[in-house]
């Protein structure tokens, strides 16, 4: 019997926008997103890639035949408004309990349902029902959300064209290239801090940490949204976000790592950047609290 847990909108947003070589949504066993709303509501609008589940007269829920629930790594169910696991007359909870009889991983219930998610992320709602593999492999992805409504990180492909939807006001670009990665209209209304730096162990990112963190804090403290971007979105931008969390929240490096890995499991600063982050940890919180020879850094 599956355990039911709540899934915050930002958690589903990040699940939908994970990528390896291609969007993870193209992996057939990665995510089963189930819409438990009534059929007419589903047809009016639903979250991208969501499968509709129908309810029979006896209260039994039926998934499409092509969905093999027991193979799925992640299962998220939503209805219109469910916010608590204690709610009565919740289609999402009833559906989860029914499907959970033959599924043994946690099933997540989307907090606030479709109404809240579509209000926060209106660009991720759709009327589209069927997707080909080619369409899934070429889905438009968005930068991952690290601090809800304030801080985002991503690769260059995710970032281009997403700034309007996410209302990004400031960008930290860690790349060997410069602002030419962004259009003129994007540069006109946003403040961009360019740090030309190669993703190499010997590259000196440490000397830029104070400038970067002060730039990010000045915008975040005013409620403006900040995007950190690097070419691949794995090493340089994750090192910068780690440095910012150490600076802004006085996290240890290990605490910052644990926080970000939940948002982006593929993040991995190179070994040179990790050593520089240890030095930044000492400078910021006054002591070295991290051992790079132990998990999760191995």
164-188 mean pLDDT: 74
Is pLDDT of 216 > 80?
Answer: yes
Which neighbouring-strand residues pair with 229? 154, 173
Domain 144-285 has CATH 3.20.10.10: no
The answer to whether residue 183 scores a pLDDT higher than 80 is no
- Confidence class for position 272, pLDDT limits 50, 70, 90: very high
Q: Are strands 151-155 and 225-230 parallel, antiparallel or unpaired?
A: parallel
What would be the CATH architecture of the domain defined by 4-137? 3-Layer(aba) Sandwich (3.40)
Which among 90, 136, 131, 132 has a CA at the least distance from the CA of 114? 90
Higher pLDDT, 298 or 69: 69
Q: Which residue would you say has higher pLDDT here, 170 or 190? A: 170
As a whole-number percent, the residues of the chain with pLDDT over 90 amount to: 74
Q: What is the pLDDT of residues 3-42, one digit of tens each?
A: 999 999 999 999 999 998 899 999 999 999 999 999 999 9
The model carries a pTM of 0.93
Integer Cα distance of 171 and 183 in angstroms: 13
Residue spans of the domains in the chain: they are 4-137, 144-285
Q: Determine the pLDDT at residue 1.
A: 78
Mean pLDDT of 49-77: 83
| pLDDT higher than threshold 80 for residue 67 | no
């Amino acid at each position: 019997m599956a355990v039911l847990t709540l899934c915050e909108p930002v958690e589903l947003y990040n699940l939908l926008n994970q990528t390896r070589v291609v969007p993870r949504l193209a992996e057939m066993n990665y995510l089963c997103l189930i819409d438990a709303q009534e059929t007419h509501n589903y047809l009016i609008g639903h979250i991208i890639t969501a499968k509709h589940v129908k309810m029979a007269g006896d209260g039994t829920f039926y998934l499409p035949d092509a969905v093999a629930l027991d193979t799925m790594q992640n299962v998220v169910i939503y209805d219109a408004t469910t916010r608590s696991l204690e709610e009565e007359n919740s289609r999402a909870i009833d559906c989860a309990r029914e499907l959970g009889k033959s599924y043994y991983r946690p099933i997540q219930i989307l907090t606030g349902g479709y109404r809240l998610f579509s209000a926060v992320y209106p660009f991720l709602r759709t009327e589209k029902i069927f997707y080909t593999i080619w369409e899934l492999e070429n889905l438009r992805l968005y930068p991952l959300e690290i601090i809800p409504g304030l801080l985002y990180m991503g690769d260059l492909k995710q970032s281009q064209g997403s700034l309007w939807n996410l209302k990004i006001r400031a960008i930290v670009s860690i790349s060997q290239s410069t602002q030419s990665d962004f259009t003129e209209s994007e540069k006109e209304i946003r403040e961009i801090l360019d740090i030309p730096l190669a993703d190499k162990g010997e590259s000196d990112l440490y000397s830029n940490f104070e400038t970067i963190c002060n730039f990010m804090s000045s915008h975040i403290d005013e409620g403006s949204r900040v995007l950190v971007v690097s070419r691949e979105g794995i090493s340089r931008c994750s090192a910068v976000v780690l440095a910012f969390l150490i600076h802004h929240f006085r996290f240890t490096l290990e605490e910052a790592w644990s926080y970000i890995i939940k948002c982006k499991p593929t993040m991995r600063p190179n070994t040179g950047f990790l050593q520089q982050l240890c030095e930044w940890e000492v400078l910021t919180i006054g002591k070295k609290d991290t051992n790079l020879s132990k998990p999760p850094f191995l």
